A and B are shown apart, each in its own frame.
Chain A
């Protein structure tokens, strides 16, 4: 991490949406790290397709710029600029679009530090967003974090709250590893939250205990966290105490804390919006099982079935997990 002195006395409480929190984090990073650049498709003068980067071009000039619709050029140039000492923050408008340039992530970005034995690094942050939304087509709605979690060398973060969107983006930009930072457009304008700006730079990796409980542990991330909390409410009414662990950092994953919780409840559900096969839930379950922690019931995964994603809301609703499906999975673990 670069040596930067963060004046935590500057911390202030404000009301911001998730999108506003991302914007505030970008502004802070552009201000305190002069080597940062911010670029991508429509992000500068238009302010981003969701308005997330609005106003930053005016404040920071040429360090914030628009690019051609060329994901290989965006990601590839970020690799090169980072190798030469910049700290690029690039936007891929939809995670689904990154696959036209997957080479630059899998074969290029991820190799810089290893090949150079740490003498050269590529501190790139790829900001993107993913997730289903009624009416979105199959190429604008997938949850694909697992593909990136399979790549050693790339950190992956999926914040859910506005506070984490702010804090963890600041952490990602300060980190010396490449980070895929996955936002969610359903969260961007889902109401203002009170958040604190200007706090200390966090180290990547901690999870959040969003609800405590003693009977079952739910591990989840991203927009699915809300469904897990709703499921916990439903089960509370039935007298079942459910704890919800949100893991905004998927790499590095705080496996130790997950294991400590599961050792106590001995029952675990892992829920994500991504489809089940090869989803990161499989990895979380494997780590729990391999740890030898005693379980009272087999662990359960909840995810989208292995299907393509349809546009029509009625079809989509039949696939994407919700509080009812998570509750059903929790109930199936109870004696």
Chain B
């Protein structure tokens, strides 16, 4: 926390909540600056392929940054850059992965939408909607036999709630009382179609009751709220209480993928979303707590500088070696 306090130039110790808000603001900016840089690289053609940014949805990855225990396992989606950064993957290794470099976190094998870093308990993005949920159940199951108190966390979007694999996973976890936390990031769009048009009841969290597990809808843009509720769900799972479903209400401020024309947006929708996105939420609270605008700008600048340095390093790294393309298909 000291570094953030130095950054905003306060002499005496901040109160705990404010210090946490400052750290969260820094982390939100770190993710956002990363994503904005990725967008530049994609538009310039340095990054190729399909890229899904999490701008506007940074609060959940920021909230779970410190919530995972040493044996816990996290499974996310193709919109997963923020989670990778918060699990401690070096931004340079993430950029390098997206840029197809030998120094990428998976030496260029995963790309933007499918990288993995088990050494950080980050068991990967997944480019198949909903596929990570049953896999997370297996991680939780393994903990029952390996002497750990592992909790598995699986993150997916509102659209994934309509996948059979997610239904199977929720029932499987509930039937076996597995320590799984299901986090549904509801950004109101099932890719490019309103989720409300694709379900009979748009209160997705209510499905939890039919599986026999707790379910709750919470604000998905405030790291403090998210931290408290996700932490409760993890504790309940760890203590043998079985799985929980949390529906995290958020908004994606950019397209489903880079290049999405976003013709599905309702007029005024994005303006409203900009008032409640994580930077706005944290900034309001920090100003109320007495931080200066200049101090908060320094937090943003520090994050942007870190990202600029990382991308510069990644851009000069060697390309993934074609001679290795066929390695590791089999043991």
Could you list which residues of chain A lie within 8 angstroms of chain B, going by C-beta atoms?
1, 35, 37, 62-63, 67-68, 70-73, 75-86, 88, 100-101, 103-104, 107-108, 111, 113-121, 152-153, 155, 175-177, 252
CB distance A80 to B142 under 8 Å? yes
Nearest opposing residue in chain B for A117, CB measure: B328
Q: How far is the CB of A120 from chain B (nearest CB, A)?
A: 5
Say which one of B82-90, B104-112, B182-190 lies at the interface with A.
Answer: B104-112
Task: Say whether, besides A73-B171, A120-B118, A115 and B142 are in contact (CB < 8 Å).
Answer: no
Contacting B106 at CB < 8 Å: which of A80, A85, A116, A152? Answer: A116
Nearest opposing residue in chain B for A70, CB measure: B168
Q: How far is the CB of A321 from chain B (nearest CB, A)?
A: 31
Q: How far is the CB of B106 from chain A (nearest CB, A)?
A: 6
Q: How far is the CB of B141 from chain A (nearest CB, A)?
A: 5
Could you list which residues of chain B lie within 8 angstroms of chain A, going by C-beta atoms?
73, 75, 106-107, 109-110, 114, 116, 118, 123-124, 126-128, 131, 133-146, 150, 152, 164-165, 168-169, 171-172, 175, 327-331
Determine the chain A residues whose CB is within 8 A of the CB of B128 once the complex forms: 103, 107-108
Considering the chains assembled together, what is the distance between the CA atoms of A37 and B140 in angstroms?
A: 14
Contacting A84 at CB < 8 Å: which of B150, B168, B172? Answer: B150
Contacting B172 at CB < 8 Å: which of A35, A70, A85, A114? Answer: A70
Task: Say whether, besides A103-B131, A104-B131, A73 and B137 are in contact (CB < 8 Å).
Answer: yes
Considering the chains assembled together, what is the distance between the CA atoms of A67 and B178 in angstroms?
A: 13
Considering the chains assembled together, what is the distance between the CA atoms of A103 and B133 in angstroms?
A: 13
CB distance A80 to B171 under 8 Å? no
Determine the chain B residues whose CB is within 8 A of the CB of A76 once the complex forms: 131, 133-135, 137-138, 165, 168-169
Q: How far is the CB of B191 from chain A (nearest CB, A)?
A: 17
Task: Say whether, besides A77-B141, A78-B138, A84 and B73 are in contact (CB < 8 Å).
Answer: yes
Nearest opposing residue in chain A for B150, CB measure: A84
Task: Say whether, besides A80-B139, A84-B73, A116 and B145 are in contact (CB < 8 Å).
Answer: no
CB distance A83 to B114 under 8 Å? no
Determine the chain A residues whose CB is within 8 A of the CB of B142 once the complex forms: 80-81, 84-86
CB distance A37 to B145 under 8 Å? yes
Task: Say whether, besides A70-B168, A70-B172, A73-B168, A118 and B328 are in contact (CB < 8 Å).
Answer: yes
Nearest opposing residue in chain A for B123, CB measure: A83
- Top 4 nearest A-B pairs by Cβ distance? A80-B138, A76-B134, A77-B138, A84-B142
Could you show 23 A-B contacts with beta carbons less than 8 Å apart?
A35-B145, A63-B145, A68-B168, A70-B171, A70-B172, A72-B134, A72-B165, A72-B169, A75-B134, A76-B169, A78-B138, A80-B73, A84-B142, A84-B146, A111-B114, A113-B328, A113-B330, A114-B109, A114-B329, A115-B124, A116-B116, A117-B107, A252-B330
Considering the chains assembled together, what is the distance between the CA atoms of A85 and B135 in angstroms?
A: 13
Task: Say whether, besides A73-B172, A114-B109, A118-B328, A80 and B131 are in contact (CB < 8 Å).
Answer: no
Nearest opposing residue in chain B for A77, CB measure: B138
Considering the chains assembled together, what is the distance between the CA atoms of A117 and B113 in angstroms?
A: 17
Q: Which of B144, B150, B165 has the most CB atoms of chain A within a 10 A radius of its CB?
A: B165
Q: Which of A72, A115, A117, A119 has the most CB atoms of chain B within a 10 A radius of its CB?
A: A72
Contacting B134 at CB < 8 Å: which of A80, A86, A177? Answer: A80
CB distance B136 to A153 under 8 Å? no
CB distance A77 to B109 under 8 Å? no
Determine the chain B residues whose CB is within 8 A of the CB of A175 once the complex forms: 331
Determine the chain B residues whose CB is within 8 A of the CB of A252 once the complex forms: 330
Nearest opposing residue in chain B for A106, CB measure: B128
Determine the chain B residues whose CB is within 8 A of the CB of A107 once the complex forms: 127-128, 131
Contacting A119 at CB < 8 Å: which of B73, B118, B139? Answer: B118
CB distance A77 to B145 under 8 Å? no
Determine the chain B residues whose CB is within 8 A of the CB of A117 once the complex forms: 106-107, 109, 327-328
Contacting A77 at CB < 8 Å: which of B118, B135, B328, B331? Answer: B135
Determine the chain B residues whose CB is within 8 A of the CB of A81 once the complex forms: 138-139, 141-142
CB distance A115 to B114 under 8 Å? yes
Contacting A73 at CB < 8 Å: which of B118, B169, B328, B331? Answer: B169
Considering the chains assembled together, what is the distance between the CA atoms of A152 and B123 in angstroms?
A: 21
Considering the chains assembled together, what is the distance between the CA atoms of A260 and B330 in angstroms?
A: 25
Q: How far is the CB of B165 from chain A (nearest CB, A)?
A: 4
Considering the chains assembled together, what is the distance between the CA atoms of A107 and B139 in angstroms?
A: 18
